[in-house]
Chains A and B, each alone.
Chain A
Amino acid sequence: MTLLARTFQGFNQWVLREVSEQCFEPITPRPQALSPLFKLDDEFLHIGEQWPFLLHFLYDAKAHWIEQHAQPLISGIWLEDCQGKEIALEASALYVDGESLLIVHEIERKYGETAYRLQSSRDHLLVEEELEREVARRTRQIIAREEQISLCLLAAAGCRDEETGAHIRRIGLYSAVMAEALGWGIDQVDHIRMAAPMHDIGKIGIPDYILQKPGALENDERSLMETHAAIGASMLSDTGIEMMDMARDIAQCHHERWDGSGYPKGLRGEEIPIAARITAIVDIYDALVHKRVYKPAYSEEKTYDIMSSMSGSHLDPRLFELFQQNLAQIQAIRQQVQD
C-alpha cells in the first residue's frame, strides 16, 4: 500500500476513479468505516438508486470533470443509514492527471463539530426569539392596561357632559382605522388609538353652567367653551411621551378647520397636525350619527351629506375621501361599540 493510499485511509477517505457511466474503480483501499455501506461488485463500485444523494452529486461532478477542474467540488454533508446507525459523509469530485476522481469521506468528527456549532447557535437564537416574544407580550399587556386606565379616566371626565365611554372608545378605534389606511406603522396606529379619545379632555376646566347648557351659547360663553382646546393641550404637555405629544396636538387642534376658520389659532391646511385632522372627521361623524341633547341621531345618508358639504372647508378633503373609502369598517365599529 502506498503512503498516499494509507494517508487517505487514515482520514477515512476513499478515492475512486471513474471508469464508465456511474461505475468507479477504487484506487485506495476502502476505509473500515465505509465498508458496511459500500459493497463492491467485481471490484467496482456502481453508484445507483441505492445512494440517491451520491447519484444526485454525480450530475454536478460530471460537469466538473468535463471542465477538467483540479480543485475539488464538494457535495456538502449527507447522512446514510447503516446497520441502524447514521453515517455522515461528504464527497468531492476533481480532475487530476487525466482522471476523473471521486473521493468519498466519512466525516464523523467534522459532522459532530458542525452539528455542535449549529445546534448551539440555533438554541441560542431560539432562546432569543422566546425572550423577544415574552417582551412583546408583556409590552402589549402594559399598553392595554395603560389604555384601559386612560379610557376610565376619560369616561369619568366625560360624565360632566354627555361624552360617554363608548363614544371615547369609538373615536380611538375610528382614528386607528384611518391611520392604518394611511399606512402608518403599528406604533403610530397604537398612539392615535389612545391619543384621539383625549381630544376633549380640556372640557374638565369648563364650568358646568356652560358645559351642560341645553340651548345655544352666548358669545362670551362660547369664547370660554373654546378655551377647552388650550386647557387640554396644557394638561397634556411636557410629558416626554410620544403618544401624549400626539394627544396634546389633537386636543389643541381638533377644532381647527382646513380653510383656516377654526380655533384656537386659525391654522389652515397641513399646518393642522394630521392626527387632529383625522380626529376632527371621526368626532363629527360620531356626533352626527348619535343623539345629542341639541339634536336627534342622524341617518348615515344625512351624516354623509353634511360631512360632504364640510369637506374642503372644515375638513381635510383628502382625509375625508379616505374616510369614505373606509366607511364600512367605521360603521362596523359604530355597531360593535355601544354603551
Chain B
Amino acid sequence: MIQKKICLLGAFSVGKTSLIKRYVDSIFEEKYLTTVGVKIDKKLVEIERQKVMMMIWDLAGEDDFCKLQVSYLRGASGYILVGDPTRPHTLDRLFCLHKKAQKNIGNIPAIIALNKHDLCNQWSLSFAHREELEELQQPILNTSAKTGDQVQSLFIDLATQMLSN
C-alpha cells in the first residue's frame, strides 16, 4: 500500500478542519473551533486500482501572529490551499502560503479549494484575485464542507495528481 502525505494550508477560519472532517468522518460542525498545532488524519482510498493511505495533515491556520512552521511540509506529496471568498483577504494569505510551500518543497501537486460555496452569494472576489488565481495554474474547486459539495473530488483529484506525478 502506498502512503502519501498531504497538507492543508490557509488562513484561519477558512474551513480546513471542516473539509477534513467532512471527507474523513462525513460530519460538519457549524461552530468555529480554531486548530492548535497539528492533527493528522488517515484515509484509505483506492485510485486506479491502487490502495493509497492518505495522511492528511491539518495545520493551524495562519494569521499575523501564528505562522506556518514550514518544517511540517517536509515529505508532503501534495497540498491543498484553502481560501474563503466571503473573506477575500484570505486569498492573499493563500497566495503567500503557495509561494512559501513552493520555496520549501518545490513544485509538487497542489489544488485550490475556494470553500464555503454554500455562501456563494456572499463571495466577493475581486477581478485581481481571480486573475491571480488563474496565474497559479493549479486546479480550483468550489467546495463546501457544510454541504459536502466537491469535497470528495478535492482529495481524490489531488491524490490522482500525486500518483501520476
Give A residues with C-beta under 8 Å from B.
Answer: 49, 52-53, 56, 59-60, 76-79, 86, 88, 111, 114-115, 118-119, 121-123, 125-126, 129
Measured CA separation A79–B57 after assembly (Å) = 11
Measured CA separation A146–B131 after assembly (Å) = 31
Contact B39 A49 (CB under 8 A): no
Which residue in B12, B55, B63 is a CB contact (below 8 Å) of A52?
B55
User: What B residues does A52 contact at CB under 8 A?
Assistant: 5, 40, 55
Is B51 among interface residues, defined by CB-CB distance under 8 A? no
User: What A residues does B40 contact at CB under 8 A?
Assistant: 52-53, 78
Give B residues with C-beta under 8 Å from A.
Answer: 3, 5, 12-13, 32-34, 36-40, 55, 63, 65-66, 69, 71-72, 74-75, 87
Identify whether the interface residues of B are mostly helix, strand, loop, or mixed. Answer: loop
Measured CA separation A56–B40 after assembly (Å) = 12
Contact B38 A78 (CB under 8 A): yes
Instruction: Provide 8 A-B residue pairs closer than 8 Å at the C-beta atoms, listed in order of the A residue.
Output: A52-B55, A56-B75, A77-B36, A79-B38, A115-B36, A118-B34, A119-B34, A121-B65
Contact B63 A114 (CB under 8 A): no
Measured CA separation A257–B69 after assembly (Å) = 60
Measured CA separation A121–B45 after assembly (Å) = 37
User: What B residues does A114 contact at CB under 8 A?
Assistant: 36
User: What A residues does B72 contact at CB under 8 A?
Assistant: 56, 76
Measured CA separation A88–B35 after assembly (Å) = 12
Contact A118 B36 (CB under 8 A): yes
Residue of A nearest to B37 (CB): A77
Measured CA separation A52–B41 after assembly (Å) = 10
CB distance from B54 to the nearest CB of A (A): 12
Interface contacts beyond A76-B38, A77-B38: sample of 9 additional A-B pairs, CB < 8 Å, sorted by A:
A53-B38, A76-B37, A79-B38, A88-B36, A88-B37, A111-B36, A119-B34, A122-B12, A125-B12
